[in-house]
Amino acid sequence: MLNVSRWLGVLILAAMVAAPVASRAASVPDAVARQLGVAAESGPTALLDSLARALAAHPELAATPASAAALARIASAPVPDFVGANLPVYREIAARIIAAAPPAQRDAVRAAVGRELTSYVANDIRIMPALPPAPAAPPQSQPAEVGSRGFDVGSFTVYPEIRAGGFYDSNIYATDTSTKSDWVGTLSPSVALQSNWDRNSLYAEAGADLTGYVHHGSENTVDWHSQVEGQIDVSKNTHVLLGGIMLQEHEDRSSPDAVEGTTPILYHELSAYGGLVHRIGDFDIRLAGAVQRLTFGNVTGTHGLIFNHDRNRNRYTFGITVRDVAYDGFRPFVEGLGDIRVYDLSTDEFGYRRSSSGYRAGAGAQFRLGPSLTGEAFLGATGRDYRDPAFKPVTTVAADGYLRWQAAQSTAFILFMDRSIEETTLPGSPAYVYTVAGARLEHAFLTDVTGFVRFAYANADFAQSSRQDNEFDTSVGVRYYVTKRVYLGADYRFTSRRSTEATQNFARHQVFLTVGSSF
């Protein structure tokens, strides 16, 4: 159970930090906010067109860094709910606002809008494709950059980015005893391609994350990911989305499914997805489906080969969402999702049949309580039924949501939570219920210096087992823009797990230093 006094303390801290900066965040006229909100219900193209009209009718909205950041905030609020890749939408919002700024203010507006939207990217869980569960923190310490100019190539804009740096890890194997520390170097190049067409859209990205350990070279990894997505605008009220993802990643040593191998476990994902979004009167109807292929590599352990091919599986997901868009500032919806997971092998290494079928259904709403308070909440039920007769069905409450409070022009406070059923390799257990909740406080101390504090708590409750894992994740960081294109980042992160299975306990300190450039 989360400590109520902890949350009250964080809220008080947010208010104290915000007070010297501004009494309230800069606001956008209600009529413009409503215009953007209504347009967003028809998808990203309609939102961007509405933003262009608002800027043409109200050029003062991009005249100063404060007003431009406020407009970016309002325009970005509905983006996390869009079907498909969100990063290109954030980038296009930034490009349009920056282009409308007076030449003398353009660099300052670029910095303010980039800082605002980078904050949204850092907290938009749909920016990166879904991965097998890890501890409660995102995989990267610095979010993708927004607000860079990019390069125009015909009817496309290309966004190259590169990050390099290093970090110190006090416990590279995430163990409770006989801990090993090391220094690690990192290099992360990436490139994104975005169309500039009046109708339809195409987005593609590819990137890699390379790590090298000074004293433990067996921990070195080469991860990469690629994604392509296209949207066909059939009509003003109908859009078709098609996309695919291909990646190679590794399981972190602190993963609930990590094993004591001599090298990290590599896995590959190949996914294809599609969707239809259609507007009928005051209702927005979304149909979607996806196919995902996951394969895991075997690794050598201290007592021989550790077999992971029994985790290889296909996943088939399909669902429908119906949203009522008649009310300004409040968008209720109902959602139903089906999910089938089929393992390659009929039984795993311990003789269990882990193929299953499941569902997720419920209702929720998006809401905007004034210009500075936005969020979304979902509540329902989720369950899975397993082929193995030894496994009982797993059912639980399904819930997720977030709340973003723009306490002042330079200060944002975010609450988030999520609850789901996840796969496991634990003998005798079909799955675990994973609940994570946390908060993030972001503050711009200067035009070129932004900091954040983040805390998350997660609980993994393994079905048909006495094992329970409690995970704590705390991090603090700062980003300094040396020039318009180059930034420095520094982060400290503490993670720990306290489990009823004593061999799974660990504590870990990590210090990250990063230099990056967006073009």
Distances (CA, A) of 206 to 132, 166, 196, 248, 288: 20, 22, 19, 12, 24
* DSSP structure class, residue 64: S
What's the rounded mean pLDDT across residues 152-168? 89
Give the 3-state secondary structure of residue 147: coil
**Are the C-beta atoms of 367 and 375 separated by less than 8 Å?**
yes
Mean pLDDT of 39-45: 74
With a cut of 60, say whether residue 334 has pLDDT above it: yes
Reported as half-sphere exposure (CB side, CA atoms, 13 A), residue 377 has a value of 8
Residue 7 has a pLDDT of 37
Instruction: Share the mean pLDDT of the chain.
Output: 84
pLDDT at res. 337:
94
Instruction: Say yes or no to pLDDT of 38 above 90.
Output: no
Q: Report strand pairing: 394-408 vs 156-169.
A: unpaired
Decide: 114 and 485 in contact? Cβ < 8 Å. Answer: no
DSSP classification of residue 264: P
* Phi-psi domain of 43 (left: phi exceeds 0; alpha: psi -120 through 50; beta: other): left
pLDDT at 146: 65
Tell me the pLDDT tens digit for each residue of 263-287: 899 999 999 999 888 889 889 899 9
CA–CA gap between residue 177 and residue 333 (Å, rounded): 49
What does the alpha-carbon distance between residue 135 and residue 418 come to, in Å, rounded to a whole number?
Answer: 13
Task: Determine contact, residues 435/398, Cβ cutoff 8 Å.
Answer: no
Tens of pLDDT, residue by residue over 454-479, are: 999 999 999 999 999 999 999 999 98
Domain locations along the chain: 4-115, 116-518
CA 468, chain centre distance (Å) = 25
Rounded to whole angstroms, how far apart are CA atoms 285 and 67? Answer: 34
Cα–Cα distances (Å) from 67 to 59, 62, 114, 115, in that order, read 10, 6, 13, 13
Distance CA 118, CA 93 (A): 12
What pLDDT is recorded for position 81?
67
Give 462-486 as a DSSP string: ETTSS-EEEEEEEEEEEEEESSSSE
Average pLDDT over residues 131-160: 61
Of 78, 80, 64, 56, which is closest to residue 27 (Cα–Cα)?
64
Q: Could you tell me the pLDDT band of residue 8, with boundaries at 50, 70 and 90? A: very low
Q: Is residue 248 pLDDT above 90, yes or no?
A: yes
pLDDT of residue 46: 78
CA distance 434 to 119: 25
Other beta carbons within 10 angstroms of residue 294's beta carbon come to 20
Choosing among 2.40.170, 2.60.220, 1.10.1740, 1.20.1640, the CATH entry for 116-518 is 2.40.170
The angle at the Cα of 349, spanning 344 to 350, to the nearest 5 degrees, equals 125
pLDDT beyond 80 at 323:
yes
